[in-house]
């Protein structure tokens, strides 16, 4: 679900590392805030809600709203509280159980 | 378990100033903060970013460097990336850092947990692409990321600040959709005399508005019936203004109608809170030092009542002076001699607040949302659901949890609590104080079993 990004980056990142989001490779600046980097890369939908399956993305970016939840190494975490690291494998949480995403 | 004299939670202006003041007085301080670098949200990442984007963010932002510099000294252990999840009387604070749970104890605690955006439930506010204005600021400050096609919706000075910063960065917002009316401004004018005592603040506000005018950013005031439309993500803002229905196509919407104290940590240890009708929120009950009804626990900064960065800085210093005196490092005379000018500056800083509260009141349509609007984002509970619970006899937010899980999702009511209280109070004809608020219990943030298992001294009471 990567589209042309509605966001632009003021400075060109000096380096990029590869991470995987929902099975797709993305090249993000290492050490950057993960939620911000995913938004800048054109990722709009970070997860679907367990209640109705509605799409959600980052809302507060300060660790309070829990709308930017992603799954990394089997643990569901707030993307806005993480930094980009080489090789991260990021999935939308619980999509496999909901039968919605590639396993 | 790490013992010290004082634990400070939060490394924004209040927490930084408190830690530095306490350490100067000879206290051993542990400063816990969730973020990887100090500054809080207002000065987020200031040490790295001021040199990079100081021109866009403005002089006020760069000032934060004085506060972060002051904590790099003996007597302060700044534990960055520390997520606090339990606080117990005594005082013991449990937190997770780098995948490991740990605890710290001290006779005194200063909570400087800052503010949250006032929840702004309106149709479409959960769509991807809709964020708080604070989130827009964080994107710009920390990451240099700007929305190409954004509409700013709501009211208040922060909306003008982010708009002005976007203009300076070369990507002005498409429009400001502002909810305050001409009548609000007329009502505010009777507070203008008081506000003039805080004239530098007003002058900054006028300068920002002039920047928006020069950049020809369209402003729609007195907006009502605001709804965000889109298929799977935000695509347009619809509203009424000047007697006409309007629509603005966009990719990003930044919402803001004021900030409110983040009361989660203070409530979790039983600090009493009271409804503030002028600010439409609960404020903790504190004395002039930031002291609370809970032994050894102080509050400073926006978490003790909204006042902004300078008030937070002053409040942090004042609370730390009191703690230093209580622990025998300062005489009462010395404490009072040093606190007096700080308290005077704080009164001056507060002088502008009655004007701002009256000129930029919260958006009425989001204080009492339409029945179909989601109020609890996590559990997807609507305003109509809450009103329905009231008809069935639900009188308070804790009961509402049993009716339909409002406030029981991962955010633990941070973005629905005030709305749920207001809806139940209105439906039952009771005051917000009588209606009450969610009972906040640990863990304040999620903690995994693996993190507990890795705890230095094994799992102890707080985790059981």
Q: Give the structural domain span for A35.
A: 18-96
A40 interaction partners in chain B (CB closer than 8 Å): 143, 145
d(CA A47, CA A24): 15
**3-state DSSP: chain B helix, strand, coil percent, rounded to 5?**
40, 20, 40
Give the 3-state secondary structure of residue B397.
Answer: helix
User: Does A11 fall in a domain?
Assistant: no
**Could you report the predicted ipTM of this complex, rounded to two decimals?**
0.94
Considering CB atoms only, which of A40, A65, A81 is closest to B411? A65
User: Does A71 fall in a domain?
Assistant: yes
Predicted confidence (pLDDT) per residue in B58-105, tens digit:
999 999 999 999 999 999 999 999 999 999 988 999 999 998 999 999
Q: How many domains does chain A have?
A: 1
Give the DSSP letter string of A34-97.
HHHHHHHTTB---EE-TTT--EE--SSSSSSS-TTEEEETTEEEEGGG-B--TT-EEE-TTHHH
The least confident of A49-53, A57-61, B128-132, B311-315 is A49-53
Q: Do B232 and A55 touch (CB under 8 A)?
A: yes
Considering CB atoms only, which of A46, A51, A81 is closest to B380? A51
A39 interaction partners in chain B (CB closer than 8 Å): 139, 145
Q: Which residues of chain B have pLDDT under 70?
A: 1-2, 456-464
d(CA A27, CA A20): 9
pLDDT confidence tier of residue A98, bands split at 50, 70 and 90: low
Give the 3-state secondary structure of residue B174.
Answer: coil
The whole-number pLDDT of residue B195 equals 78
Considering CB atoms only, which of B116, B142, B445 is closest to A33? B142
The whole-number pLDDT of residue A1 equals 45
B122 interaction partners in chain A (CB closer than 8 Å): none
Assess contact for A44 and B233: CB atoms under 8 A.
yes
Q: Is the pLDDT of residue A74 over 70?
A: yes
pTM of the model: 0.95
Predicted confidence (pLDDT) per residue in A8-28, tens digit:
999 888 899 999 999 999 999
Mutate to test the interface with B, among A3, A11, A47, A66 (most CBs of B within 10 A): A66
Structure tokens of B11?
């490394």
Residues of chain A contacting B, Cβ within 8 Å? 6-11, 32-33, 36-37, 39-40, 44-46, 49, 51-52, 54-67, 69, 75, 81, 83
User: Does A67 fall in a domain?
Assistant: yes
User: Does A68 fall in a domain?
Assistant: yes
B410 interaction partners in chain A (CB closer than 8 Å): 66, 69
The whole-number pLDDT of residue B463 equals 46
pLDDT confidence tier of residue A102, bands split at 50, 70 and 90: very low
User: Does A88 fall in a domain?
Assistant: yes
Q: Is the pLDDT of residue A3 over 80?
A: no
The whole-number pLDDT of residue B198 equals 73
Given CA atoms B306, B308, B309, B313 in this order, what sign does their dihedral have? negative
Helix (H) or strand (E) holding B335: helix B332-350
User: Does A63 fall in a domain?
Assistant: yes
B132 interaction partners in chain A (CB closer than 8 Å): 59-61
Of A22, A2, A20, which is closest to residue A84 (Cα–Cα)? A20
The whole-number pLDDT of residue A103 equals 37
The whole-number pLDDT of residue B329 equals 97
Of B84, B103, B101, B78, which is closest to residue B1 (Cα–Cα)? B103
- Strands B219-220 and B175-178 turn out to be parallel
> Residues near B231 by Cβ (< 8 Å), separated by ≥ 6?
none
User: Does A25 fall in a domain?
Assistant: yes
The whole-number pLDDT of residue B459 equals 46
User: Does A28 fall in a domain?
Assistant: yes
CATH number of the domain where residue A67 is located: 3.10.20.440
The whole-number pLDDT of residue B449 equals 86
């Amino acid at each position: 679900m990567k589209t042309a990004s509605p966001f632009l980056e003021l400075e060109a990142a000096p380096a990029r590392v590869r991470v995987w989001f929902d099975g797709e490779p993305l090249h993000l600046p290492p050490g950057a805030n993960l939620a911000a980097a995913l938004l800048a890369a054109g990722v709009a939908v970070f997860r679907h809600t367990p209640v109705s399956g509605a799409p959600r993305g980052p809302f507060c970016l300060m660790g309070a709203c829990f709308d930017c939840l992603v799954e990394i190494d089997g643990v569901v975490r707030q993307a806005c509280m993480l930094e980009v690291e080489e090789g991260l494998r990021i999935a939308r949480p619980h999509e496999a159980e909901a039968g919605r995403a590639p396993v | 378990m790490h013992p010290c004299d004082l634990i400070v939670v939060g490394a924004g202006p209040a927490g930084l100033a408190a830690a530095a003041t306490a350490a100067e007085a000879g206290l051993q301080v542990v400063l816990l903060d969730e973020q990887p670098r100090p500054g809080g949200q207002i000065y987020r990442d200031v040490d790295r970013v001021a040199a990079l984007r100081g021109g866009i963010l403005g002089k006020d932002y760069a000032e934060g460097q004085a506060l972060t510099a002051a904590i790099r000294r003996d007597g302060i252990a700044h534990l960055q990336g520390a997520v606090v999840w339990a606080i117990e009387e005594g005082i013991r604070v449990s937190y997770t850092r780098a995948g490991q749970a740990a605890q710290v104890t001290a006779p005194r605690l200063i909570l400087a947990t800052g503010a949250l955006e006032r929840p702004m439930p309106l149709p479409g506010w959960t769509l991807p692409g809709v964020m708080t204005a604070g989130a827009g600021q964080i994107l710009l400050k920390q990451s240099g990321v700007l929305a190409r096609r954004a509409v700013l919706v709501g009211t208040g000075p922060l909306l003008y600040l982010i708009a002005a910063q976007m203009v300076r960065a070369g990507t002005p917002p498409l429009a400001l959709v502002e909810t305050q009316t001409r009548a609000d401004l007329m009502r505010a004018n009777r507070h203008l005399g008081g506000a003039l005592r805080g004239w530098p603040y007003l002058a900054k506000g006028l300068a920002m508005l002039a920047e928006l005018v020069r950049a020809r950013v369209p402003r729609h005031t007195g907006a009502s019936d605001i709804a965000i439309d889109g298929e799977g993500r935000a695509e347009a803002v619809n509203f009424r203004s000047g007697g006409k229905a309007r629509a603005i196509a966009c990719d990003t919407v930044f919402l803001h109608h004021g900030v409110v104290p983040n009361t989660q940590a203070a409530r979790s240890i039983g600090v009493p809170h009271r409804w503030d009708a002028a600010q439409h929120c609960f404020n903790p009950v504190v004395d002039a030092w930031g002291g609370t009804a809970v032994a050894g626990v102080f509050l400073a900064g926006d978490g003790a009542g909204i006042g902004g960065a300078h008030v937070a800085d002053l409040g942090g210093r004042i609370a730390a002076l009191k703690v230093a005196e209580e622990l025998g490092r300062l005489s009462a005379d010395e404490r009072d001699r040093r606190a007096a000018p700080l308290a005077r500056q704080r009164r001056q800083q507060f002088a502008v607040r009655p004007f701002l509260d009256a000129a930029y009141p919260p958006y009425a349509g989001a204080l009492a949302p339409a029945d179909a609007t989601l109020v609890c984002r996590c559990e997807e509970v609507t305003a109509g659901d809450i009103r329905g619970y009231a008809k069935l006899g639900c009188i308070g937010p804790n009961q509402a949890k049993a009716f339909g899980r409002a406030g029981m999702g991962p955010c633990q009511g941070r973005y629905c609590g005030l709305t749920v209280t207001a809806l139940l109070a209105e439906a039952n004809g009771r005051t917000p104080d009588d209606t009450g608020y969610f009972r906040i219990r640990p863990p304040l943030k999620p903690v995994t079993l693996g993190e507990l298992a890795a705890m230095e001294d094994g799992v102890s009471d707080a985790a059981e």
